[in-house]
Structure 1
Amino acid sequence: MTSLGIYIHIPFCLQKCLYCDFLSFLEGRKQQALYFDALKKEIAESAPECSEYEVVSVFFGGGTPTSVAPNFIEDVMRLVREKYRLAKNAEITIECNPGTADFEALKIYRKSGINRISIGLQSAKDEELKRLGRIHTLVQFEECYKNARKAGFENINVDLMSALPGQSLADWEESLNFVLSLDQKPEHISAYSLIIEEGTPFYEMYGEEKSSETGHLRVQISPLPDEDTEREMYYRTKMILGGRDYHRYEISNYATDGYECIHNKRYWQGGDYIGFGLGAASLMKGIRYNNTRDFRKYLDALLKTKQTDEGCMTTSLIREDARILDMKSQMEEFMFLGLRMIEGVSISNFKNRFGRNIEEIYADVIKELTDKDLMEKKDDMLRLTSRGIDISNYCMAKFLIDDE
């Protein structure tokens, strides 16, 4: 049976962070209830098209899924179990920000079947959290982490972010070492560098030379680390985590044995997944599409549109930008997503999937990167070297096929 991942988008937050460009916003309990009514209808209506799949992962992302009443999440989990063929050992993740889930809520999530929690720490220093516009403190993270363990979570990820405003190399190492000092250290750590995204308050501050006043929020601008410092943070992350039994399996992700994120690996390895909720993306049977990002349109389509006698699926009204991936696009994605993985891409899988040898398509690129010590072949795998990973964007871009 073909496997499937499910992503469920919860777009609500208590406050939007200064660096965040995700689809998220503040809404009251009434609007949240309407959203979950629409979300459950989408999930139920989409079940028949997923009947041939076994669901191996479910991921509640956002936004902040734990910012809503936990019974909303509990209801969705009940529906997923009723309508979908959920694998016995399915990985089911919920993203959580400290301060948004108390012990009772965490018990509800765990009892509902959620078995993995991803806690957004970002920094172990309160002054850095303030600069990011985060609403929690380090003490709140410690309480959340302790309660998650107490509630029965045995698979915890902690998110950390480097290259923050005003952050030194010593500051970054302090955050890493703090996480490693936790009682029963996390099974997984995601360690990302801050990216200044257009349309965010940080872009107004750092992307262009503008005032530090953004709306009603005023922050003290601190300089970003220089490139040399950022690069050193990157190397120290590998050394520190590698020395504490974490293996790096993707550019920014580290896990102890047996705890790689099943859901995210689907994205990088080209597996099918379906996204539910506002703005969620899907890739099913070679067709990629996105749900509408218009909150009102999403609610109206699913809650107000009447079903016809022919059984018209109202979910078709929220799906946009559907695109059949041609062979060229599929090969490109296989390469530049797969090369995010430290193990690289399988040469035999390429042949099985596309019916052509990888050298037929990419011989020149492979030779160029190999000659520059940016890529290497090991058995059936083609992967970036340590030097190649350092400039991964450059290497991956080489696998975009020029139109003839």
Structure 2
Amino acid sequence: MKALELYIHIPFCVRKCKYCDFLSGPATRAEQEIYVESLCREICSYTDLAKAYRVVSIFLGGGTPSTLEAEQTESIFAAINRTFTIAEDAEITTELNPGTVDEKKLRAYQKCGINRLSIGLQSADDRELRMLGRIHTYEEFLHTYRLAKEVGFTNINIDLMSAIPGQNLSDWERTLRTVAELSPEHISAYSLIIEEGTPFYERYGNQEDELERGRRIPAEERLPDEDTERRMYWRTEEILKEYGYEHYEISNYAKPGKACRHNIGYWYRTEYLGIGTGAASLINNCRFTYEPDCMHMKADEKEILSVQEQMEETMFLGLRMMKGVGRKEFSECYGKELDEVYGDTIRTLKEEGLLEEKNSRVYLTRRGIDISNYVMSEFLK
């Protein structure tokens, strides 16, 4: 049986954060119930496909999956278990936000087989949390985190966000150390991106132009400049290394043996099935996505990837990993040597100091990570 990852999208949250452009939003209990019932039917519709696969990881994302009632989450996992063969050592994650779980819900998660939690903290500073539009305080996060540990969860990720308006390097270092002192097994540290269509875009989207025109912007509302943002990024690696975290992917850090297997599967193109509104899939080198406003995929949304497109994905996804892309794995997958396809590109990027190689693995240099979007785009020509 081939390995398969499952992603289940729960598009509900208590309140939309000011920076968020994900497919999510508030909903009534009745709307949630209708969605969960439809989701369970859709899961069960994959009975034939499931015969060829063994599920090695499951990820409930959103939105905020923890806004569902415990019984609704149990219904989703009942449908999954009726339909799919789940590996005994499968990594099973749910995202949650502080203040949306209690002991009953956490124990229900364990009953479902969930063995990994991903908690959306973002900042240890209450001012920054208010700025972002988060629904919790740091103390409320601490309560949720400690409760999860008391219940028995031993694999917890904490999401953090840097380059928040008004944030300086010292602020970010303080958040990092505060969270690292708790010793979670995994930390995801992302830089804020100002996305169109969000309240943050309306407020901060043109800030660089306004500064160039000489507008005075209060320090507490000013986005960190590019140099400060890069210093924040590299201080993240330095500080978390002090606490025993390995920087294994561009934005992710883990204690030994606790790297997120589900996300690694994405970067190395393990097949995955996304179920739920807006969820994406990769099955037999075919990509497809559910319509945002319905549960069912339309046939004309399928994209069959050519071999060239598969090789491109292998490069720009694999280079997100700190250990990069292996020559042996590439040749075994495609029947071609890496240099046959990308030799000129790799040589040029090495000369520019953006790529290096060790033990037959090609990976980003420190400078290459700083401009990783450019490096990865070079493999799409």
| TM-score using structure 2 length | 0.95
Whether 1:269 and 2:231 are equivalent positions in the alignment is: no
Cα deviations by residue, 1:45-97 (Å, 9 ceiling, x for unpaired):
01311211110000000000001212111111122122111000100000010
Contact 1:292–1:320 (Cα < 8 Å) also in 2:
no
The Cα shift of 1:382 comes to 1.0
Q: Does 1:132 align with 2:132?
A: yes
Alignment of 1:161-240 (within 5 A): 161-182=161-182, 185-208=183-206, 222-240=221-239
Structure-2 residue corresponding to 1:38: 38
Give the 5 Å matches for 1:82-101: 82-101=82-101
Equivalent-residue separation in structure 2 for 1:320 and 1:88 (angstroms): 36
Which amino acid is the alignment partner of residue 198 of structure 2? T
Any gaps of 5 or more consecutive residues in structure 2?
Answer: 211-218
Unaligned runs of 5+ in 1: 212-219, 299-314
Distance of 2:362 and 2:167 partners within structure 1: 36
CA contact (8 A) 1:12 1:27 kept: yes
Aligned to 1:254: 253
Moved more, 349-358 or 18-27: 349-358
Which whole-Å CA distance do the structure 2 matches of 1:288 and 1:64 have between them?
Answer: 25
Which of 319, 330, 342 is the aligned partner of 2:322? 342
| Identity %, equivalent residues | 51
Q: Once structures 1 and 2 are overlaid, which stretch shifts more, 149-158 or 46-55? A: 46-55
Shift of 1:201: 0.8
Distance 2:303 2:265 in 1: 19
- In structure 1, how many angstroms separate the alpha carbons of the residues matched to 2:359 and 2:156? 33
Between the aligned partners of 1:245 and 1:27, the Cα distance in structure 2 is 40
Deviation at 1:244, TM superposition (A): 1.2
Tell me, what secondary structure is at the counterpart of 1:399?
Answer: helix
Match of 1:373 in 2: 353
The one-letter amino acid paired with 1:373 is G
Give the equivalent residue in structure 2 for 1:10. Answer: 10
- 220-229 or 141-150, which deviates more: 220-229
Q: Take 1:281 and 1:241, find their aligned partners in 2: how far apart are those partners?
A: 32
Return the alpha-carbon distance in structure 2 between the equivalents of residues 316 and 195 of structure 1: 29
Aligned residue identity for 1:324: I
Residue-by-residue CA offset, 1:262-305 (whole Å, 9 max, x unaligned): 111111001100001010000000000001101xx43xxxxxxx
Match of 2:334 in 1: 354
Provide the residue aligned with 2:291 in structure 1.
292
1:305 — aligned with what?
none
Write the letter of the residue equivalent to 2:122: Q
**Alpha-carbon separation, structure 2, partners of 1:188 and 1:47:** 34
C-alpha contact 2:189 2:252 (8 A) present in aligned 1:
yes
- Asked whether the equivalents of residues 110 and 151 of structure 1 are also in contact (C-alpha less than 8 Å), the reply is no
Deviations 1:159-178 (A, max 9, x none): 00000011111110111011
Contact 1:11 1:24 in 2 (8 A): yes
The answer (yes or no) to whether the contact 1:160–1:190 under 8 Å persists in 2 is: yes
Question: Which secondary structure does the structure 2 equivalent of 1:361 belong to?
Answer: helix
The answer for the alignment partner of 1:244 in structure 2 is 243
Q: Within 2, Cα distance between the matches of 1:150 and 1:321?
A: 45
Structure 1 position 20, deviation (Å): 0.3
Deviation track 1:336-371 (CA, whole Å, cap 9, x = no partner) reads 000000000111111111111111111111111111
Letter in 2 for 1:191: A
Question: Aligned letter for 2:192?
Answer: L
Q: Determine helix, strand or coil for the equivalent of 1:90.
A: strand
Note the C-alpha offset of 1:332: 0.6
Partner SS state of residue 362, structure 1: helix
Preserved CA contact (<8 Å) 1:290 1:320: no
Deviation at 1:379, TM superposition (A): 1.7
> Aligned letter for 1:364?
D
- The amino acid across from 2:301 in the alignment is D
Aligned-residue CA RMSD (Å): 1.6
Partner residue of 2:311?
331
Aligned positions, number: 372
Whole-Å separation in 1 of the counterparts to 2:119 and 2:160 = 9
Query: Which whole-Å CA distance do the structure 2 matches of 1:167 and 1:45 have between them?
Result: 47
Alpha-carbon separation, structure 1, partners of 2:303 and 2:112: 35
- Residue 199 of structure 2 aligns with an amino acid whose one-letter code is P
Query: What is the CA distance between 1:221 and its match in structure 2?
Result: 7.0
Quote the Cα distance in structure 2 between the aligned partners of 1:271 and 1:344: 16
Comparing 16-25 and 107-116, the one that deviates more: 107-116
For 2:215, the equivalent position in structure 1 comes to none
* Contact 1:162–1:193 (8 Å) recurs in 2: yes
Bigger Cα displacement from structure 2, 329-338 vs 372-381: 372-381
How many Å apart are 1:320 and its aligned residue?
A: 5.8
Deviation at 1:208, TM superposition (A): 2.9
Cα distance in structure 1, aligned partners of 2:118 and 2:142 = 14
**2:291–2:297 CA contact under 8 A, matched in 1:** no
- Cα distance in structure 1, aligned partners of 2:36 and 2:280: 18
Matched to 2:225, the amino acid is: D
Q: Secondary structure of 1:92's partner?
A: strand
